[in-house]
Chain A
Amino acid sequence: MATVDSYILFIIMALPMAGAAVILLIPGRRVAAIRWTAAAVALAVMALTFYAFLAYDHDVGGFQFARTWTWLELPGPWPLGFRGIELSLAADGIAVPMVLLTGVVMFTGVLISWKIADRPKDFFILYFLMLCGVFGVFVSLDLFFLFFFYELAVVPMYLLIGVWGSSTDFKTFLRTKEYGAMKLTLFLVAGSVLIWIALIAVFAEGGLGTFNLLALRDAEFSNTFQVVFFPFLIVGFGVLAGLWPFHTWSPDGHVAAPTAVSMVHAGVLMKLGAFGILRVAVFLLPEGADRWMPILIGLGTVNVLYGAFSALGQRDLKYVIGYSSVSHMGYVLMGIATLNPLGVSGAVLQMFSHGIMTALFFAVVGAIYDRTHTRDIMVLEGMAKRMGIVAALFVVAGLASLGLPGLSGFVAELLVFLGLFQTYPVLGILGIIGAAVTAVYILRLIAKVFFGPLDPRWKDQTDASPIERFSSGILVGFIVLVGLFPFPFIRVIDTGVTELLARVAGS
């Protein structure tokens, strides 16, 4: 089994790529074949991510399923020789839940996109390419490939939003999908420029001629170097994580994107940023982390409150969810910035929990939009009467979002709060207040859109289709599972976090 296990990450990463290639060969008019292929590939990937999650041995910890292929090499000592660039895949306790999250969101996203009528072939090809990139980032130990996959995840997004997206057009407010797509891409590329600068600097300063993270762990980075280059990584990855004030691409991008892409985008892609902060920034530059974390924790607090109040002031359903993502990612940033086991474990669990929860949100909003062709809160009223299941799903996502115990958000946020109170009690209080504001905007939305008398113009709406029920059911299952039985998740996350924080403490 051990040998099979060591290939599993490669298979998980490569299978979407292979799926894209297979779909490329199917003629575009054979829509059913394309859908079923996509679903089969996604199901296989989800099953494998599940297996990887269960097979990860939390007693041993560390990086498991490791396998390395050399890609570019020049024998000899640096700088004459060059250890080279390797495709080095492995996953630790932080990466494994993220891989599982991606698998789940990927599969449910395919199901949600079942009815896509406009060029489904191209859609699924790009969708799979993007997910190949996402998986690659989570499991790469070589910084070069990590960056490569990072870009691979961002670029297809541009086309997915620009072609299959939708525009928001209120009389006073217009955002086209092209605008959303362009802004998102420009922001993320700008972020990656900063990341690339820092990675090259790390490569040069490390003096080992390698991009391999585990090898660079032994490199001695001076305190000055760490303090100077840490902000590059924080801002670079932070852009992707929705860090205030570099967050505006995210609501606009979420809103413009088609449903499945919003799910991946808010559910998984934003987690790449937070993951990058942990995997690259904190891992390589622990002293820089120690120095800059007070700033990050402050910005994270702004994220939480600013996102929550912004959500309160929105009129478009998707913008509310978009800003709620900004707010919830604030908890992730705050948790990471505590640099203590409770806070960071909470942050990682929040990444997982928010990924599932926001995917459910976007799936439900997509279901409403597909039927009513509007997301305007002003005109939607009493939808629960006709769309009982859709309403119930939204309520579950909403309750998870406001941190109701028994659902995933509570456990994650509680751990973040406990971590915060150890170091920054005042910010912890602000965080808890942010959760109360979340309750206000979520419950207002539910009361307005789903409850109350049914607006007669929606009297012919249909409830969720079997496919929508099934895919949303998977997400609800995870929300309840993590909420009631967080142990299997915490057990795995805790090993990864403990090892990471040992580096910070040791520096």
Chain B
Amino acid sequence: MSYGVIGIDSAWVIPALCAAAFFFIVAFMRLFPPSTPLAKHTPNLSAATSILAILLGFILFWFVLADLLNNGPGALSINWLTIGDTILTWGVVVDNLSVVMLGLVTFVALLVQVYSLGYMKGDPRFGWYFGAHSLFAGAMLALVLADNLLFLYIAWELVGLGSYLLIGFRYEKRSAAEAAKKAFVTTRIGDVGLLIGIILLFKATGTFELSAIFHAAEAGGISQSTLNASALLILMGAMGKSAQFPFHVWLPDAMEGPTPVSALIHAATMVAAGVYLVARMMPIFELAPTVLLIVAIIGLITFTFASTVALVVTDFKRVLAYSTISHLGLMMLSLGAGAVGAALLHLVAHGVSKALLFLGAGSVMHGTGGKTEIWEMGGLRKAMPITAVTFLIGAGSLAGIPPLGGFFSKDEVLLSVWDHRNPVFLVLTLAAVGLSALYMARVTFVVFFGKPRNSDIHAHESQPVMWVPLALLALLAAGVGFLAFSWTDSYRGFVGFLEPDEGFHFVAWLTVLSALLALVGVGMAWLAYIRGAISPQRISTRFATIHRILVHKYYVDDLYQWAIDRVVLVFGRFIALFDRIVINDTGVNGPGIAVKLSALRLRYAQSGWLYTYGLFMAFGFVALALIWWLVLA
């Protein structure tokens, strides 16, 4: 079956469309001064351009997928710069990994943008909002298509820019401005590592092309120390973008952006980038087994860390943010077990579910007048039935309730950990799985069940442009897990799709155990927050110290704040002061002052009195005579 010219060769058009939309919107926004009649249409036109671009991208994705399934992977490369003997190239690759991401990103971005039509209605910067969305989506799409580390890094940084612009969208709010800065700086610190890692690989192989680098690495052309170092440094970049401990601090604050932006950041763009990067670089990580173990450990720490914090957070969006961090940890853990397929399946299942949850949260905020404190809500399922049902599906999926999507993907992850890692990993992971079900059920029960807690809130269901995306996402979140199964001979499960060597298999006891743990977590939440049989207050007073540590998020944010204020800024002020006092006032002004002062003294020698001159002459004569006499002697 042939699809004519549209296929893998035109995959690059997908990000290019978004980039073109961005430039068009930026140019168009300033074309008409606010007073002209056309100016009032620019916001809608911007939105239309942006949505059209991503919609075309989503349609193109199906052609690319069809071409891939029929004709296998393909790549494209062009020369970018020639300097001396060095040639730098740009290139795109379409293989099973990138096509999965392509589908996820275009789909989620499309739904989020449509949803935003309703959510952002009437915003004074409506047009710019969609411009930034186009940039963000375009950068992420370029990132997943990149067959070249340099190109990947460029897209990577532009994803960071997109997040900066969107998190700081409401820049008049001090907290939004700070959150945007925090996100950019934190990920930038990770990017220092990424760039160094990339340059190390370039130095070892003389190319940025991924296929060539993998080839060289497998042929033993890169020394083990270089492999270890660059894998570790690339991991650092991935940890920054994917909000892994200890780089996670920016993600909870990132909810300062409009809620649909959070949906995008948490589901498809930005945080997915780090997981994708490690998956893409897996051939390098596999040759550096120590680093792969570190990946697993980081993932596990992040998973348990964020799950415990999510238990005590009371801000609706922050709970979801910590839940994202914990699931990203789970994906990293899976990658650390070498299981690209399981990680990507969880990425997709989580992406769909989390987009659903955030859009649901946005719907709740829209319906309640912008409230985010969960203890002010309650009983919302009556006023917002569609939002409540869809949210329930998303939360159930992430909590791992069978047969929703997250259950199957989590199962694949657990399986990979069981297959490839020490049993200790599995035990700790299972414990955290129970916790993740507990916090997810907690937030759902508190918000949607029980009785309304605040009589000032007059909740109402949102309009169709908002709940239709919710419904679509809910369908997917419920059904995405069936991708895991082996359906035909050519499609041997999602894992087999990404890792041809691995077939579809499962371990019955593990599946049952994880389902049981999830149910236990949900049951405990039910007892605590609906039946009232367990009192969370009593538990928190009983374990006051632990509770305090959790509420303060293990003091990580405070530590960083302290380090920035007390170390980095103080050091900057010290250098500035050093420059002023030591280099300038002493080193530069010093000689000047010295000349001035000595002139002040010496000018008294020119007194104009004859006897002083006579005295100096006498001194001089004696001195010369002495020297003459001494030299002679």
Taking Cβ atoms with an 8 Å cutoff, the residues of A that contact B are: 173, 183, 245, 248-249, 252, 306, 309-314, 323, 340-342, 345, 382, 384-385, 399, 402, 404-406, 410-411, 414-415, 417-418, 421-422, 425, 428-429, 432-433, 435-436, 439-441, 443-444, 446-447, 450-454, 486-487, 490-491, 494, 497-498
Contact = CB atoms under 8 A, between A and B. Distances in A.
Contacts of A252: 584
Given A312-B569, A405-B158, A454-B172, A428 B579 contact: no
B568 A312 contact: yes
A444 B181 contact: yes
B196 interface: yes
B83 A341 contact: yes
Contacts of A428: 196, 199
B351 interface: no
Contact of B185 (A306, A422, A440): A440
Interface stretch (B46-54, B187-195, B242-250): B187-195
B576 to A, nearest CB: 3
B37 interface: no
A439 B185 contact: yes
Contacts of A248: 579, 583-584, 587-588
Contacts of B83: 341-342, 345, 415, 490, 494
Interface string B163-187: 0000010011110111011001100
Nearest to A381: B174
Nearest to B576: A313
Given A385-B172, A399-B161, 9 more contacts: A342-B84, A404-B158, A405-B155, A410-B157, A421-B200, A422-B203, A425-B203, A443-B184, A447-B178
Contacts of A491: 82
Residue of B181, B185, B200, B577 with highest tally of chain A CB at under 10 A: B181
A313 B81 contact: no
B494 to A, nearest CB: 33
A453 B195 contact: no
Residue of B154, B178, B199 with highest tally of chain A CB at under 10 A: B199
17 contacts: A309-B576, A310-B576, A312-B569, A312-B572, A313-B575, A342-B84, A384-B171, A411-B81, A422-B203, A425-B200, A428-B196, A429-B196, A441-B572, A443-B184, A447-B180, A452-B171, A452-B172
A432 B81 contact: no
B573 interface: yes
A498 B85 CA distance: 10
B125 to A, nearest CB: 9
B153 interface: yes
A447 B180 CA distance: 9
B571 interface: yes
A417 B191 CA distance: 14
Contact of B572 (A310, A399, A450, A453): A310
A470 to B, nearest CB: 12
Nearest to A490: B81
A309 B567 CA distance: 12
Nearest to B577: A313
Contact of A421 (B84, B203, B577): B203
Nearest to A342: B83
B613 interface: no
B84 A314 contact: no
A311 B161 CA distance: 22
B574 interface: yes
Contacts of A309: 571-572, 575-576
Interface of B: 80-86, 150, 153-155, 157-158, 161, 168, 171-174, 176-178, 180-181, 184-185, 188-189, 191-192, 195-196, 199-200, 202-203, 568-569, 571-577, 579-580, 583-584, 587-588
Looking at chain B's contact residues, the main secondary structure is: helix
A458 to B, nearest CB: 13
Sort A-B residue pairs by CB-CB distance and give the 6 closest, nearest first.
A341-B84, A313-B576, A312-B572, A451-B177, A405-B154, A313-B572
B575 A310 contact: yes
A245 B587 contact: yes
B172 A453 contact: yes
Contact of B192 (A306, A436, A453, A490): A436
A313 B189 contact: no
A411 B151 CA distance: 12
Contact of A245 (B168, B172, B202, B583): B583
Contacts of B571: 309, 312
Given A406-B154, A421-B200, A313 B172 contact: no
A32 to B, nearest CB: 26
B184 A306 contact: no
Contacts of A453: 172-174
Contacts of B173: 452-453
A481 to B, nearest CB: 13
B569 A439 contact: no
Nearest to B168: A451
Given A306-B575, A313-B572, A405-B153, A418 B199 contact: yes
B517 to A, nearest CB: 41
B161 A404 contact: yes
A382 B177 CA distance: 10
Contact of A183 (B84, B172, B583, B588): B588
A101 to B, nearest CB: 19
Contacts of B580: 173
A436 B240 CA distance: 13
Nearest to B161: A404
Contacts of B150: 414
A313 B574 contact: yes
Nearest to B174: A452
Nearest to A480: B23
Given A245-B587, A342-B86, A451 B157 contact: no
Residue of A245, A405, A450, A487 with highest tally of chain B CB at under 10 A: A405
Nearest to A445: B181
Contacts of B199: 417-418, 421, 428
Nearest to B81: A490
Given A417-B195, A447-B177, A451-B168, A341 B573 contact: no
A404 B178 CA distance: 19
Contacts of B176: 451
Given A312-B569, A385-B172, A439 B184 contact: yes
B157 A404 contact: yes
A245 B520 CA distance: 66
Contacts of A404: 157-158, 161
Contacts of A410: 154, 157
A87 to B, nearest CB: 33
Nearest to A182: B592
Nearest to B584: A248
Contacts of A487: 80-81
Contacts of B154: 405-406, 410
Nearest to B187: A439
